[in-house]
Amino acid sequence: MKPQESCLLEVRDLHLRIEDRWLARDLSFSLSKGEFIGIIGSSGSGKTTLLRAINGETKAESGSIKIGAESKLPVGMIHQDLELAEGSTALNNALSGSLLRHAWTDTLFGFPKEEKEKAIELLETLGLSRKVNQWTSTLSRGERQRLAIARTLLAEPLILLADEPVASLDSDWAIKTLDLLNDFAKQKQAGVICSLHDPKQVEEFADKVIRIDSTNPEQWKVEELS
């Protein structure tokens, strides 16, 4: 079947396992432009493994992950352990998301002005305006999580994978951040797949939900949410 034009990602008959433990069997779903998919499941159910498989970091046992109908699309992932450069300033960490748009010679001595302005604006939106020149290692866990989100958003991926991006945020910032991810999907016509723990957040923000349960790998469900 030829994927539709609006389809960014198609996962078919995916089998995932970690060592001897099956996480999912025959998992199939698709992600369209502007769509926000929530993944929900208990700890260790395979949410991270699924996202890592889509990002190409883990190999699936079998099945296919097709990114883009014709050409490969840019994928960006917000990792659970953030993976920030601790000795770098918050601004440079955020800006490093934009590296793919520049030749190495253009960023050898810093970033272009327009990228800096864009990054500062986004950091302001994420409540980090006073922290831009601070070393990342000195930020709190919540601030670092928002910084990792800023870095990935500045990469402007067409498929954004977010592994529990609001786990360390208080409820206000969690809602603001999920709003931001949702807006990003709608405005840039990108697709977002986001693992979450709170079913209320999934209901509020997701267009579709994937429920996975590693105790019953065949019983995954993909539901459209109104």
Partner 1 sequence: MKNDTKNIPWHSRFDLPSITFILFLLLALGSLPALEGSGRDLDYLGNFLRFLDQFFPPDWSILGQTMEGLWETIQIAAISTLLASFISLFLSLAAARTISPAWLVIITRMILNMIRTIPSLLWAILAVVLVGSNSLAGVIALSFYSVGYLAKFFSEAFESADLKAQKALQSLGANRWQAFQYGLWPNLKPVIWSHCLWMLEYNVRSASIIGYVGAGGIGLHLKLYAESADSWNKFSLVLICMLVIVTLLDLTGEKVRKSIRAKLEGNKVL
Closer residue to partner 1 (CB): 155 or 175: 155
Contacts with partner 1 by CB under 8 A: the residue count is 34
Does position 30 interact with partner 1 (CB under 8 A)? The reply is no
Q: How far is CA 74 from CA 7, 8, 159, 161, in A?
A: 14, 10, 7, 11
Closer residue to partner 1 (CB): 18 or 100: 100
For residue 140, the minimal CB distance to partner 1 (Å) is 9
For residue 51, the minimal CB distance to partner 1 (Å) is 12
Scanning 26-34, 53-61, 174-182, 184-192 for contacts with partner 1 by CB under 8 A, the matching segment is 53-61
Closer residue to partner 1 (CB): 25 or 52: 52
**Range 96-155, binding partner 1 (CB under 8 A):** 96-97, 99-100, 102, 104, 107-108, 134-135, 137-138, 151-152, 155
**Range 78-107, binding partner 1 (CB under 8 A):** 79, 81, 83-88, 92-93, 95-97, 99-100, 102, 104, 107
Taking the C-alpha atoms of residue 185 and residue 68, their distance in angstroms, rounded to an integer, is: 16
For residue 82, the minimal CB distance to partner 1 (Å) is 8
CB 218 within 8 A of CB 26: yes
For residue 216, the minimal CB distance to partner 1 (Å) is 31
For residue 139, the minimal CB distance to partner 1 (Å) is 8
Token duo for residue 66: 């097709």
**Range 187-216, binding partner 1 (CB under 8 A):** none
Task: Give burial (CB, 10 Å; 0-12/13-18/19+) of 141.
Answer: exposed
Closer residue to partner 1 (CB): 152 or 214: 152
Q: How far is CA 96 from CA 18, 119, 200, in A?
A: 32, 10, 33
Output the DSSP codes for 10-42: EEEEEEEEETTEEEEEEEEEEEETT-EEEEE--
Which residues here bind partner 1, judged by CB under 8 A?
55-57, 74-77, 79, 81, 83-88, 92-93, 95-97, 99-100, 102, 104, 107-108, 134-135, 137-138, 151-152, 155, 157
